[in-house]
Chains A and B, each alone.
Chain A
Amino acid sequence: MKKKRLGKALAALGLCVSMAGTLAGCGKNAAPQNPSAGSDTPAESSSPQEDKEETVEITYWYWEDEQGTIENMLKDKWEAYAGDRIKVKFESIPSSSFHDKLITAVSTGTGPDVFICKPMWAPELHGMGGLANMGQVFDGWEYAEEVDDFMLNQMLCGLDDLYLYPRTTIVMYLYCRKSMFEKAGIAYPATVQEFFDACEKLTADTDGDGKVDQYGFGMRGGSGGHYMWSSFVFSGVKDMDYYDADGNAALMNEKIAEMNQKFIDLYHNGYVPPSASTDGFSEVLTNFKSGVTAMLYHHIASINTIRETFGDDFDVIPVPTGESGQAFGCQEMTGWAINPNSKNIEAAEEFVKWAASPEIHDVRCEKLQQVPFMSSVQTMDKYQNDPAYKVSMDNLLSAHTLPVGPELTTYTEEVWAQSFQRALMGEINSMEMLEQLDQCLNGE
């Protein structure tokens, strides 16, 4: 009985082995089943089938833009460009979890071949061996001359070479409600002092019920408000930046404290909505669109929704100039990065070079409302004749980016909002707030 069972098991095993062998023979890497296989004569080794290039597949991670369509559009354009030669798998990752997933993937030696990368992520990714060097690729790129050195310096992120290929940039400016300024009888602010005065004059009880229902400016005290804060506060000192020449945070300065107090006083004096201390982007945008505020600090990505709401009843002006005679504009960038663990580095490089080319840059700037930074795209009429693009491009090369360093995320995500909100509530004074920011940036 036992012998019978053993025989059946052996027979089944034999059948499985023979089936596996047959299946293996069907694989694409199977040896040719013709008598001439193994022959090394040129005529026999270059059959039309083998001449055809093998398809390379790479993966690209991105996060959806607000429109949610741009990457799909690029997908079609890429397929038209590369055909079956290089297949790109477009994978959309939610922006909120993009960084976490990327870090996890890179730390395990996996991850996409190409991905979008913010400059502030570059040092950690570089430290983990998650960024391929793009310096030589960029130098040999036919469009390299079109990118200004300023942009490239920002893309260096303090590293020894170029690891990010420039992808997008946005420059902060002010949206102003034309009708509100006309009603108040004032001109758009060119200086920070004029901006503070305008905030006061634009704050009003428009329906005569004894309550203020219109405020001068949409202050953002919640997360992300550090951009507008730096624009209005840092412009008080000439050549001001987050760090001094020795690399130490240099925010504790009497003039900066004075400007900071003036900015805080906008809240204390009621020239910004009382909810400003925790307002985030959606709140300040809603306040502006609904006529609660007269000025909004943002960038070109919101131009469509502002136009849809107000038509011509708004203007775009650059960030005002401070007492130092300089404006402290801000910008935010993204780049493309290649994973050094990619098995198809060359294909990944070709994709990045294509996606960064002026043709695709133009599509991205127009459809995604980003600021053109390639010279041939900047000169296009559609950008030159659009005030929002024009103001952005005019201020591109003087706008500051956040310093890339180990303390940056603590500064932007934690300490800035907490200390600013405490200053608004009167728990700490202007200089104490600056001291906290200084300590944070110095890693103390």
Chain B
Amino acid sequence: MDRGKQTNKRRRKSDVYVPLILLAPALLLVVGVIIYPICHAVGLSFQYYKLTDFANRQFIGFQNYIDIWKNEAFIASLGNTVKWVVITVALQFLLGLGLAMILNIPFRGRGVIRSITLMPWVTPGVVIALMWVWIYNGNFGILNHCLISLGIIHQGVPWLGSGKTALYCQIVTMIWQGLPFFAIMILAALQIIPSDLYEAAEISGAGSWQKFIYITLPQIMPTIVTTCMLRIIWVFNNVEVLYLMTGGGPGHSSMTVSLIAYIRAQKSLDFGQGSTIAIYGTLFMILFMAVYLKLTRKGEFE
């Protein structure tokens, strides 16, 4: 009887420890790669931590969180970030959907066109930024050349040098880069829609628009939700295109939250305030993530 109890005790112990031991490598990885950097960033955000004044680093509580609201560039970056993310993702989605619908139609050379379509997505962001800087160049840019040749404008426009156009020009660049991702994701979803749904709709007398609204769109909706949310996160976090094309300028006209966090930490070497901005950015993204999880779960149930 006692031996039986001891064996049960041992089993219970092993039931607790074995899973923990087996999970330990993965947990350590998560702690090292995700938890520690986040905790470190939170710790930095409560400090005066400038590498250029390293000897005077100190704990300052919430001072960084308060001071950053006095920074005009940060205030401007909030509105710019909303424009940057919403316009970019919305247009990427609409154009990507259109492109996917076209690529879903069988035609000769479709494989080649699909491969070409992917090119902007596989091109490094640095190359894209530098390429578009010269496209938009006020003196030698091909965009001005084309518009002047067509008689639309008479003098070169400094597209990136004007506060009115700089952000929107970079949005166009970003749309061009992210369009293929939407197109490929939606195309993959389109190709797994059972054809008998369309056949049944045709027998019932449904037109193209009705088939699109009542069959295609509901079928690809989970993919759209997932892709949109992923792109929102990626576009929000994008720094390279904005930094290389205008550095957030002119003035604050194309400054975003991620960009100002990067500049403050990596260029101004103020890791305290840089981390604070990054924490604010993370809080904004948590809101997005809440919506993301809610919508994707809803999609699963449907």
- A contact set with B: CB distance below 8 Å: 100, 103, 120, 123-124, 127-128, 211, 221-223, 273-279, 283, 286-287, 290, 292, 405-410, 413-414, 417-418, 421-422, 424-425, 427
B266 lies within 8 A of chain A by Cβ: yes
Which of B54, B157, B166, B250 has most A Cβ within 10 Å? Answer: B250
| Chain B residues within 8 Å of A418, by CB | 73, 248-249, 251-252
Give the CA-CA distance A290 to B139 in the complex, in Å: 10
Total CB contacts across the A-B interface at under 8 A: 103
Which of A128, A408, A421 has most B Cβ within 10 Å? Answer: A421
Which of A127, A290, A424 has most B Cβ within 10 Å? Answer: A127
Which of B55, B139, B252 has most A Cβ within 10 Å? Answer: B139
Partner of A422, one of B140, B155, B166, B252: B252
Q: A123-B53, A279-B161 are in contact. Are A222 and B247 (CB under 8 A)?
A: yes
Give the CA-CA distance A417 to B268 in the complex, in Å: 13
State whether A292 touches B248 (Cβ < 8 A). no
User: Using a CB-CB cutoff of 8 Å, which residues 254-288 of chain B contact chain A?
Assistant: 263-264, 266-270
Closest CB-CB distance, B56 to chain A, in whole Å?
8
10 A-B pairs with least C-beta separation = A406-B53, A275-B138, A413-B267, A127-B54, A421-B250, A422-B251, A127-B55, A275-B158, A410-B268, A274-B158
Closest CB-CB distance, A117 to chain B, in whole Å?
14
Closest CB-CB distance, A111 to chain B, in whole Å?
15
State whether A406 touches B252 (Cβ < 8 A). no
State whether B250 touches A103 (Cβ < 8 A). no
Give the CA-CA distance A221 to B246 in the complex, in Å: 10
Give the CA-CA distance A68 to B73 in the complex, in Å: 38
Q: List 18 A-B contacts (CB under 8 A).
A: A120-B52, A124-B269, A128-B54, A211-B154, A211-B155, A222-B247, A275-B160, A276-B161, A278-B247, A292-B139, A406-B52, A414-B264, A421-B249, A421-B251, A424-B250, A425-B250, A425-B251, A427-B163
| Chain A residues within 8 Å of B163, by CB | 425, 427
Give the CA-CA distance A277 to B246 in the complex, in Å: 10
Give the CA-CA distance A424 to B162 in the complex, in Å: 10
Partner of A286, one of B140, B155, B156: B140
B137 lies within 8 A of chain A by Cβ: yes
Residue of B nearest to A222 (CB): B247
State whether B161 touches A277 (Cβ < 8 A). yes
- B contact set with A: CB distance below 8 Å: 50-56, 73, 137-140, 154-158, 160-163, 166, 246-253, 263-264, 266-270
Closest CB-CB distance, A267 to chain B, in whole Å?
10
| Chain A residues within 8 Å of B154, by CB | 211
Give the CA-CA distance A127 to B55 in the complex, in Å: 5
Partner of A275, one of B155, B161, B247, B263: B161
| Chain B residues within 8 Å of A100, by CB | 266
Closest CB-CB distance, A38 to chain B, in whole Å?
48
Give the CA-CA distance A421 to B267 in the complex, in Å: 18
Give the CA-CA distance A223 to B154 in the complex, in Å: 29
| Chain A residues within 8 Å of B268, by CB | 409-410, 413-414
State whether B267 touches A275 (Cβ < 8 A). no
Residue of A nearest to B268 (CB): A410
State whether B251 touches A413 (Cβ < 8 A). no
Closest CB-CB distance, A33 to chain B, in whole Å?
45
| Chain B residues within 8 Å of A211, by CB | 154-155
| Chain B residues within 8 Å of A405, by CB | 52
Q: A103-B51, A276-B161, A406-B52 are in contact. Are A417 and B139 (CB under 8 A)?
A: no
| Chain B residues within 8 Å of A290, by CB | 139-140
State whether B161 touches A409 (Cβ < 8 A). no
Q: A221-B161, A425-B163 are in contact. List 15 more A-B contacts (CB 8 A).
A: A124-B52, A127-B53, A211-B154, A211-B155, A273-B138, A278-B160, A278-B166, A292-B139, A406-B50, A409-B267, A413-B263, A414-B264, A418-B73, A422-B252, A425-B162
